[in-house]
Structure 1
């Protein structure tokens, strides 16, 4: 397991669990705090994206 993979997993997990992006950027170090390449570390599973879209659709139907 590479350090890149561990970093990517940690960043994605923190974001998925609801930690604000600015806090995750701060925790991930000074290089990624203001980096436009931050998103390369984020990998959401399609199932998670589908659930989030469904949640938004339900809120719009109210």
Structure 2
């Protein structure tokens, strides 16, 4: 995605974003960022932050 704000807006809208590098999916659950690998059922609390461009530039919906 182009900007940190675009990522945060997409997550707040309930979208699942996927990393083009790791293929991890990201989603907000109860206001906290969670991740999962592929289509597994279990979401885990993610340690990803959006403090540098590399953390959001490779995300897509």
Specify which structure has the higher proportion of strand. Answer: 2
Please report the TM-score for the alignment, with normalisation by the length of structure 2.
0.31
* TM-score, normalised relative to structure 1: 0.31
